[in-house]
Amino acid sequence: MRSRVSIEAHRTLHFNGKPFFPIGARHVPDGATPQVLREAGFNAVRWTPFGMAAHERQSWEIPKDLSGLTFYAYLYNRADLSSDAATRRRELERLVDAVRDHPQFLCYEQRNEAACSYRDHSKPQSPPEGLVAGSEVVRALDRDHPIRIGHMNTNLVSTLRRYNPAVDIVGCNPYVLLAPGMRMIAGMRPDGKVVDCPNQTLSAVGECTSKMMRVAEGRPVWMQIQGAANENFYHPAHTPETANQGLYEHQRLYPNRWQMRFMAFNAIIRGATGMEWMLVRHSIDHPSWLDVCKVIGELQSLHDVLASPPWPGQLEVEYTEMGFSDWDGVETLVKLREGKPFILAANTQFDPMLATFSNLPEGISEALAVVGENRQVAVSGGTFTDRFQPYEVHVYSAV
């Protein structure tokens, strides 16, 4: 049976009529299968029939056994009709014909990082007009599946908004964790930074999410979360001056569970209603794969909460003096799962915070369970207090 995917209230995706929070594997780690991804907690995987040399060699056949995963198809430059339009249109039509009736098909993905070209930001990889023309072809053939795009974490809001007519969902890729003294890779700035944000800490993920909320103009935002080392993107085509150097093993810095968990919830609290994980050149034999599985497993256990509508109110937060500034402090989002409130709270700072929460939603009485931590916090006089380590996340549910 053909899948039907729609965008409903609160920018939430519905898959065959049910709320769906995408937890996607942008790259398939070495040694992984759809079953391995599903067991880890992923519910979606990116399919790349063309684009990127390694993937151009893949079979055009959609895997017969997706182990329950949904999949989204990368259009690469075939949906950019600004040049070679006749040939690209034929291949684009072939792709749509191959996927639109598949029961596990989720969405299309327009050209990645279309607005930039790495070293020459004055010339986009694909102009918005070309992508709009390509998306019109897709929409004429398939009205049941949306189109998403992942932008570079650079470019003006006004520049990125020019691509909005081509897409239904937007996002970007703030892969903020870098090895000290890291050499130049694709997408890196001349000053050695990857994210062009005044905030260069892990919470730049939230800043970029807020930027994409501005770009989206009401569209859903799905953020791309770093699950592997930035060094894994090394390719001599991007940096010819280092063509003979190969991967630098000493600069392959993988985010740990604590960091990935914070980055995911930081994006969710700032408005992301879906996410996919950068796992380029990862391996299920690498020790950090266990950390990926723990974070993805937790997100999957909270899927129905994450896919639920937000509470329209706003918690109030005050802090106990500990000798640290309250820059952005602890940020919160309340989700209502079948009327039951779940509080997501993340400390955006690299210092600990002791936070007291008030203006709580209805349905909270004398205690809150801290999900996954085997403890409760007391609620008294309509408030509760809890301690947060740097970049720590707590999820609370009414008892």
CA distance 178 to 193: 8
Residue 77: phi and psi, rounded to 5, are -90, 0
pLDDT score of 60:
59
Largest CA distance in the chain: 68
H/E element holding 166?
A: none
Structure tokens at 365: 């009485």
pLDDT score of 69:
97
Question: 382: alpha, beta or left, given left = phi > 0 and alpha = psi -120 to 50?
Answer: left
- The residue behind tokens 């990127």 is 52
Q: What is the pTM of this model?
A: 0.95
pLDDT score of 249:
86
pLDDT score of 298:
98
Q: DSSP character for 283?
A: B
pLDDT score of 346:
98
**3-class DSSP assignment, residue 14:** strand
Q: Smallest Cα–Cα separation from 141: which of 181, 89, 193, 207?
A: 89
- Of the CATH numbers 1.10.1660.10, 3.40.30.10, 3.20.20.80, 3.40.50.800, which one belongs to the domain with range 5-306? 3.20.20.80
What is the edge-to-edge ordering of all strands in the sheet holding 70-74?
Answer: 169-172, 147-151, 105-109, 70-74, 44-47, 23-25, 274-278, 222-226
Structure tokens at 340: 């039951």
- The residue behind tokens 């150097």 is 245
Provide the CATH topology of domain 316-398. Answer: Immunoglobulin-like (2.60.40)
Q: Is 5-306's fold the same as 316-398's?
A: no
Residue spans per domain, the chain: 5-306, 316-398
Q: Could you list the mean pLDDT of each consecutive 10-residue stretch along the chain, which spans 399 residues?
A: 95 97 96 96 91 51 86 94 95 93 96 85 89 98 98 94 98 93 82 86 96 98 96 82 85 95 98 97 96 98 98 96 93 96 97 97 94 96 97 96
